[in-house]
Amino acid sequence: MENLIKFWELIIHSNTFNFVIFIAILAYICKKIDVSVIIAGIQEKIKKMIEDSKTAKSEAEANLVSAEEKVKHVNEEVETILQDAGSTAKKLSEKISEDTQKQVENIKKNAEKIIEAEEKVLYTKLMKKASLASLKTAETHIKNTLVNNEALHDKYINESIDNLDGLNL
């Protein structure tokens, strides 16, 4: 019996016995948990991830091809835009130049009209001043002549009275 106890102690302390017990417990748990179903679920998830990554890869490649195609034509588009901008700027410059020329002509015409109007006003003022000066000079001359020649003075008075008599009031 003592040998049996020693053998029993040897088995209990042995790593091999512990390992066998561990495997038995693990097998029991695997049967209860149904590891094959879990592994199958994980495999399905991995397959789906692989398919999704393939789809994403093909979409990325399509986007890359599209981007490369767009980049090929960027230089042509930029040149077209620059040419359009240049022609638009030239047309705009010509239009501004025409409008400016028309405004200059209108300003000249308006200035000429204003100058003509001012000339007429000045002419009228000068004529009025000249007429007034002539009248003053004539009045002074007539007064001096009448003062110097009383017979002429009497003659004008008589003519004025005769003219008044001829008026029918």
Mean pLDDT of the chain: 85
- What is the model's pTM? 0.39
Contact 11, 17 (CB under 8 A): yes
CA distance readout (Å), 146 to 132, 140, 142, 152, 160: 21, 10, 6, 6, 15
pLDDT digits (tens, 9 = 90+) for 74-105: 778 888 888 898 899 899 989 999 999 999 99
Angle CA(97)–CA(100)–CA(102) in degrees, nearest 5?
110
Q: Residue 71 to residues 74, 83, 144: CA-CA distances in angstroms?
A: 5, 19, 107
34 in the Ramachandran plot: left (φ > 0), alpha (ψ -120 to 50) or beta? left
pLDDT of res. 48: 93
Say if CB 156 and CB 146 are below 8 A apart. Answer: yes
pLDDT in tens, 25-76: 888 877 777 767 778 888 999 999 999 998 999 999 899 888 888 777 777 8
